[in-house]
Each structure stands twice: as C-alpha cells, then as structure tokens.
Structure 1
Amino acid sequence: MKLIEVDEELYRYIAAHTQYIGESASEILRRMFSLTQKKQTEIKIKKTPKIHQSSVKATLFSRIQILNDILSSETYASKNKVIARFMLILSTLYDLDSKAFSVAAESLQGRKRAYFSGSKNFLLKNGTHTKPKQIPKTPYWVITNTNSERKRTMLKNMMIAMKFPNEIAKKVSQTI
C-alpha cells in the first residue's frame, strides 16, 4: 500500500463519502471513480520518492485509516463493554498523536469536573465518585463514572480537538 498526502479540502471531500466505519480510502476512491479491482492494476504508478519514516508524522488520512483498522479488528469486536471500547480508542488516539492528545485532554472538561488528567489524584479531588482509570499505554487518566452517552461525547470532543473531521469523530464515537 502506498502513502499519499492530500490537502484538507480534498481529504474532507473523500471522508464525506465514507459509507461505513472501516471502509478504506482505496474502497472509497474505487467507488467514487467506478474502478474495479482489474482496472486498478492497469493504473501506472510513477516512482515514489523515498520517505524517512522517522520524520513523517501520521497524516490525517493515515490516522483515520488506522482508526478504521482498529474498529474493524477482532480485538475491538471482542470488547463487549462500553468502557473497554472507550479505553481502546483513547489509547489508539494517544498512539496516533500524543501531542495533540495532550492538548485536547487539557482543554476538555465538564462544568464541574475535569475529564482527563495526568494524575489520578487530580481527578479524585475535582469530582465526586469519578472512578478514574489509567488509559492503557499512556500517562493519562480518565473519569469512568459517566453514562455511555457522556463517554461518546467525551470521545467525539477529544477527536474534534485533535483535528479529526466532525463526521469521522461522530461515527467513531457511536461505535462504543
């Protein structure tokens, strides 16, 4: 699979044509251009420049592809509880862009309490019965004593703060 960069306007156009969670960019483009698998092999690809993996940040398009892969995985499907899915997606978001996650985590809060923190004690002090849990493979904690709809809202707002398109954030949050 080749990695391409697209500008924000083109990306939003492609993302708006997503028909289901887990649909790959290739599937969307094939459908949009009415390409079949056979026609795809006829397309000639120019030599691609070498890209140093360490210097390349995950583009928005590739971040969405990774999320799609997680959402369509056996691991995600085997998670029966909302909290387990919530934590898996949060952990994935941190892996995709830890700096954007950190900025988003610091900015998201409710009227009376913080939702995310780098400290369990901070969450305990700033709310009653918050039941903080550490997000796997991250230094962050999240409150878990909220209903499913609040968790969906927290996840959607986190993704929007991380510059994911609204439509994608909404679709992902509805899967938990």
Structure 2
Amino acid sequence: MKTIEIDEELYQFIAGQTKHIGENASSILRRLLKIDQPTLAKQNITAQKESHYTPFNDLLTSDTFTNEKSIINRFILLLSALYNYNPALFAIAATSLHGSKRQYLAKDKQLLETSGKNTKPREIIGTPYWVISNTNTARKQYIIESIMSDMGISETMINQVTNAFLP
C-alpha cells in the first residue's frame, strides 16, 4: 500500500463518493475511474454491505475498554480500532486533521513534539501512528469524531462511540 498526499478539496470529493461504511479510498477511486476491482476486494465489499457488524461493537463492549478508567487509554484504543477498521481511510483522515498550531497525529513522534509545547506524543498501538496526548477530553473527542466522519462512518456509530468514550 502506498501513501499519497492530496489537497483538502480532492479529499472531500473522494470521501463524498463513499457508497458504504468501510469502503476504502482505493475502491472509491477504482469505481470512479472504472478500473476493475480485484476479485477478493469485490468479495470483501459484498460482505461489508451485507453485514451490520463493525469492529467498534466488540471494542465498546470489551472488558478491556469498559474497565479502562483512563481517558487517554480509551482514546488510544479507539484510534487503534479506527486504524484497523480501514488503514487507508485512517491515513487520509489522520494527515488532514490538525489544529491551528498543532499537528494531532503523525507517523513521526518528533514531528508531533516540534508542532507544539508539551504535546506528549503517545504511540497508537498496532499502527505506525503517534498522537498528541496533552489535550483536554473535549479535544480528544473532537479528534475521534473528526477521524470517524472523514472515514465515512455513520453519524449513528460516531454517536455510539463518543457516548461510550467517557467512563
């Protein structure tokens, strides 16, 4: 899998062409450019359309998540689940998300450290990403909501996740 940088307008266009939750950027572009999907990808898309299951269902009800009292640890667990749900869409959402002075997520810890004072970068377990942890709970919730929205996840699921975010 390759990573490319695109401008915000193009990203919004691609994200707006999503037909179903979990459709990755490659599938969207293949569909728009009328390039045949690989057979395995076609099977995965059909399975995703027929299933109402999301990996968040298991996470939100897991003992690990429900017993975790630390907001930062819940934050990391959710970001990890989002990455594992769709790494390609997560990459697009993560690179476009930032504050006026700070970068919130990056693949490089040092980039986050230089983007602001006391950012306290934390590794998102199971991913190549780091996230700043020195933000208030409302900002963490905003980061989760923004990434989920940019990934094309339904408003219902976003609300379910954000409601479960606070212990």
Q: Which entry has the higher C-alpha Rg, 1 or 2?
A: 1
- Deviation sequence 1:54-89 (CA, Å, 0-9, x none): 952573775853201110111111211111111011
Structure 1: gaps (5+ residues):
1-6, 12-50
Deviation at 1:170, TM superposition (A): 2.7
The yes-or-no answer on 1:56 pairing with 2:44 is yes
1:82 maps to which of 60, 71, 84: 71
Q: Structure 2: how far apart are the matches of 1:129 and 1:162?
A: 28
- Deviation sequence 1:115-137 (CA, Å, 0-9, x none): 00000000011111100001001
Structure 2: gaps (5+ residues):
1-18, 22-38
- Deviation sequence 1:4-54 (CA, Å, 0-9, x none): xxx75xx8xxxxxxxxxxxxxxxxxxxxxxxxxxxxxxxxxxxxxxx9699
1:172 maps to which of 153, 161, 166: 161
Q: Structure 1: how far apart are the matches of 2:49 and 2:76?
A: 21
Q: Structure 1: how far apart are the matches of 2:59 and 2:52?
A: 11
Matched residues, number = 129
Q: Structure 2: how far apart are the matches of 1:76 and 1:133?
A: 18
| Counterpart position of 2:151 | 162
Aligned residues: CA RMSD: 2.5
- Is the partner of 1:127 in helix, strand or coil? coil
Output the TM-score relative to the length of structure 2. 0.69
Taking a change above 3 Å as real, the CA distance of residues 174 and 161 of structure 1, as seen in their structure-2 partners, is: same
Taking a change above 3 Å as real, the CA distance of residues 62 and 74 of structure 1, as seen in their structure-2 partners, is: farther
Task: Give 1:134-173 correspondences, 5 Å limit.
Answer: 134-173=123-162
Q: Structure 1: how far apart are the matches of 2:154 and 2:95?
A: 20
Taking a change above 3 Å as real, the CA distance of residues 64 and 120 of structure 1, as seen in their structure-2 partners, is: farther
- Is the partner of 1:59 in helix, strand or coil? helix
Which letter maps to 1:109? Answer: H
Identity of aligned residues (%): 35
Q: Structure 2: how far apart are the matches of 1:81 and 1:102?
A: 25
Task: Give 1:1-176 correspondences, 5 Å limit.
Answer: 8=20, 56=44, 59=48, 62=51, 65-176=54-165
Q: List 4+ stretches of structure 1 deviating above 2 A.
A: 51-55, 57-65
Taking a change above 3 Å as real, the CA distance of residues 109 and 64 of structure 1, as seen in their structure-2 partners, is: farther
- Deviation sequence 1:141-161 (CA, Å, 0-9, x none): 000000111100100001001
| Counterpart position of 1:4 | none
Q: Structure 1: how far apart are the matches of 2:150 and 2:128?
A: 19
Taking a change above 3 Å as real, the CA distance of residues 97 and 106 of structure 1, as seen in their structure-2 partners, is: same
